[in-house]
Structure 1
Amino acid sequence: MDNPMNVAQGVRRGFLPKSRVAVSLLFLMNGFVVGCWAPKIPDFAERLELTKFQLGLMILVFGLGSLTLMPIAGAQIAKHGSHVVSRATAACVLPILLALTVAPNIVTGAIALFLFGGFIGAMDVAMNANAVAVEKSMRRAIMSSCHAFWSLGGLIGSGLGGFVIAKLGVLGHAQLATVLTLVFLVIAWPMILADPPHPDEKKEKTRLPMTPLPWLLGLMALFSMVPEGAVLDWGALYLRQEMNASVALSGFGFAAFSLTMAIMRFAGDLVRDKLGGVKTLRVCTLFAIAGMLIAALAPNAELAIVGFAFCGIGISNMVPIAFSAAGNVPGLKAGIGLSVVTTMGYSGMLVAPSAIGFAAEHVGFSAVFMALPVLLVVVLIFSKLARYADGISGGGH
């Protein structure tokens, strides 16, 4: 197998756990910042006097920022290596929550959101590429646990956000979040695995891959992440408006989703090593379909939260499997496969929620959540492609 990012050779054995700690901290930091943003959305909308339609457009701006900078990140990874791009993009993420908190009008708010989406998305491509490099150097699956740290960061950020905002105010919350984010980055910085750049990959980056496989994996990632984006951006509003949940209770929708997702992602690598990528993906997809239907048809907020928790169990390992497969497409450089799949996948999480907001204006969130399992059925149909995710495990299945 073509293995351009295999850095096992010449790497000291003692350094490998550090590289895993570092990439896990990058995922934790990224998830934490996104989690911190979730409870700030109502204040952001209120301060800038945004309607639901305008908030949907703002979320679209966030997504456009990601889709603009993610392919650029893929090219820079090929040129400089994922460790350089991970550090640069993580540093750019640091001041963003403060910028969003003090943005005085819609224009500055939109610019801050564009940069937020851009740097978060670019960092995502870089840290996923670094995770693939660490996987290959360790010759075992770690992608699910890396994504578990992202979910854990999201859980900490969203779970504590409302409480901290109530105690310290929105600016105090942003300041505390920024300091914690800086601490994560300072600890991770010296331990990030230095993977070599791939100048041949840079040339290849100028043209998109002609084989259908990375695009099909991208479609699987896209359809797996639309429901995740729906819960992140609209779960609380659904519980508040259609389930008459209290402010405190409505925050538990994304928290329950993040909690089960984090738990299952920590178990995910073990499950994948036992069952293989294909079977793991199929079981996960069935859980996600069941959870989304429970949330859509629930008679009360409590049962809807249980549905979101089930959905978290399912979606937990769908995306890491797609990303691992993307980094192991035969005959394709890892950075290019990952760039295609992460860009397509995150467009689902970042752009689709704005469309969901527009649709919910007319038919309500319950109907939208009922329609989302159709996308997951498509993932089930293409689940055989998950066999490529098993390529990093050194033939251990």
Structure 2
Amino acid sequence: MSILSALMVSRATVAAFMAVGFTWGCFAAMAPVLKTRIGVDDAIFGLLLLGTALGLTTTLYAAPRFDRAMGVWALPLGAALLAAMATLPGWAGVTAPLLFLSLLVLGGFSGLLDVVMNARVSEVEARTGLSLMNVNHAMFSVAYAISALVTGAMREAGLAPEAIFAVTGLMILATVPFQKTEVAPPPPEHETGDVRLPLPLVAICGTMVLIAFMGEATVEAWSALHIERTLGGGAAEGAFGPAMLGITMAVGRFSGQAVAARLSELTVIRIATGFAVAGVLIAAAAPSPIWAYFGFGLQGLGVSVIGPMGLALAGRLSPAHKRTAVIARVAIIGFTGFFLAPALMGLGAEAFGLRWAFAGVALLLAVNWPLSYSRQVAPTRP
């Protein structure tokens, strides 16, 4: 199936993924500004980023109820709410407590949309028999890169943070009209009696996705600071760090759409982990921004497919009537790590410096190798 066809089949969820990408691409490129604005060190800034994790965790558990209650309107309403909340860091993030609260709310509404859109992709995959997770996550990366570059240009032009985040809110709002989609009917009553979930499968796939998103999140939140502070780059050069990650992740995920038809999910995860580990080590040791871009780009190519493959693997190995519940729980584990990682990165940067903190990310990514050989995910296709 061509990439264009896959985009057309899942156009509603593609718009939702782009809305989330616009949100965090802007935030990643604005991280140096927000940190300087409130005047805190790396450790405190990293702890403030825990606000997104706390908000995400709370809302992720509420997301299934929101999905059932809103039905076909869950995606567009979730994106509209995210558009409003995306403006908060601009005008509320003037002190450390206010920045924490704004990230708490933003993380919550981002998590709400995250769970619903991944569940929708899984439903469409089950209904059509097509592999669509990679192409949807690829469009998140495209939107992320676009947002980071636009934000960097607005920073260079001297726009205030309030204006930059407001523009991002409008970009998110522009995706809302495209997000209405049909919803899978509830399963027959005779299929809902067994409520037990395959917890070992959830744990293994969830941990794989967790590690992938943690590796991605550390670059998103800290690459601009690494380039600007450690390597002496300017604002536009710093913004190009997360943009490079977004661009190469999009390339990796679009390529993964084709690779997924030829190799098993676990084989792809093992190869991709090697690329990601090598890339983050190059970025950690980079003597100049150019080498950092190369490292972050290589990491993006690798880490791009691990998360989508983990979600797809969990959905494929789950019973049909439990698929959405399994996907939701794997997403809970994975996306919590997406927001925990920047905080842990801040603590590591304060204690050992950004170079060694990025080296620690390489060790974390390498854990996916032994996980991919676990018997809980063994029944995968050849």
TM norm structure 1: 0.86
For 2:41 and 2:193, locate their aligned partners in 1 and report how far apart those are by CA, in whole Å.
44
Tell me, yes or no, if structure 1 residue 326 matches structure 2 residue 314.
yes
Picking from 197, 208, 211, the partner of 2:199 is 211
For residues 70-89 of structure 1, the aligned pairs below 5 Å read 70-77=60-67, 79-80=68-69, 83-89=72-78
Q: Determine helix, strand or coil for the equivalent of 1:351.
A: helix
Q: Is the 8 A contact 1:329 1:337 kept in 2?
A: no
Picking from 169, 173, 190, the partner of 2:164 is 173
Amino acid at match of 1:69: T
CA RMSD of aligned residues (A): 2.9
Q: Is the 8 A contact 2:201 2:377 kept in 1?
A: no
Q: Is the 8 A contact 2:72 2:183 kept in 1?
A: yes
Q: 1:81 to 1:200 in 2, by over 3 A?
A: farther
For residues 155-166 of structure 1, the aligned pairs below 5 Å read 155-166=145-156
For 1:199 and 1:185, locate their aligned partners in 2 and report how far apart those are by CA, in whole Å.
31
Deviation at 1:340, TM superposition (A): 1.7
Q: Is the 8 A contact 2:249 2:303 kept in 1?
A: yes
For 1:365 and 1:98, locate their aligned partners in 2 and report how far apart those are by CA, in whole Å.
29
Q: Determine helix, strand or coil for the equivalent of 1:140.
A: coil
Deviation at 1:389, TM superposition (A): 11
For residues 113-262 of structure 1, the aligned pairs below 5 Å read 113-167=103-157, 168-186=159-177, 188-190=178-180, 192-197=181-186, 209=197, 211-262=199-250
Deviation at 1:169, TM superposition (A): 3.0
Unaligned runs of at least 5 residues, structure 1? 1-14
Q: Is the 8 A contact 2:31 2:224 kept in 1?
A: no
Q: Which residue of 1 aligns with 2:27?
A: 37
Q: Is the 8 A contact 1:325 1:387 kept in 2?
A: no
Q: Is the 8 A contact 1:26 1:184 kept in 2?
A: yes
Deviation at 1:175, TM superposition (A): 2.7
Deviation at 1:84, TM superposition (A): 4.0
Q: Which residue of 1 aligns with 2:269?
A: 281
Deviation at 1:217, TM superposition (A): 0.8
Q: Is the 8 A contact 1:152 1:258 kept in 2?
A: yes
Deviation at 1:298, TM superposition (A): 2.2
Deviations 1:104-152 (A, max 9, x none): 5444432221110011112111100011111122211010010000000
Picking from 41, 51, 58, the partner of 1:68 is 58
Q: 1:150 to 1:82 in 2, by over 3 A?
A: farther
Unaligned runs of at least 5 residues, structure 2? none
Amino acid at match of 2:316: N
Amino acid at match of 1:292: V
Q: Which moved more, 1:347-356 or 1:237-246?
A: 237-246
Amino acid at match of 2:76: R
The count of residues paired between Structure 1 and Structure 2 equals: 375
Deviations 1:368-391 (A, max 9, x none): 211222222221112246996998
Deviation at 1:102, TM superposition (A): 1.4
For 2:69 and 2:377, locate their aligned partners in 1 and report how far apart those are by CA, in whole Å.
26
Deviations 1:283-307 (A, max 9, x none): 1111111111111222322112201
Deviation at 1:174, TM superposition (A): 2.5
Q: Is the 8 A contact 2:206 2:310 kept in 1?
A: yes
Q: Is the 8 A contact 1:83 1:126 kept in 2?
A: no
Q: Is the 8 A contact 2:25 2:242 kept in 1?
A: no
Q: Which residue of 2 aligns with 1:25?
A: 15
Q: Is the 8 A contact 2:134 2:309 kept in 1?
A: yes
For 1:18 and 1:62, locate their aligned partners in 2 and report how far apart those are by CA, in whole Å.
32
Amino acid at match of 1:183: A
For 1:151 and 1:352, locate their aligned partners in 2 and report how far apart those are by CA, in whole Å.
18
For residues 258-337 of structure 1, the aligned pairs below 5 Å read 258-331=246-319, 333-337=322-326
Deviations 1:51-81 (A, max 9, x none): 333321220111111111112213444x347
Q: Is the 8 A contact 1:277 1:387 kept in 2?
A: no
Amino acid at match of 2:106: F
Picking from 335, 340, 348, the partner of 1:346 is 335
Amino acid at match of 2:37: R
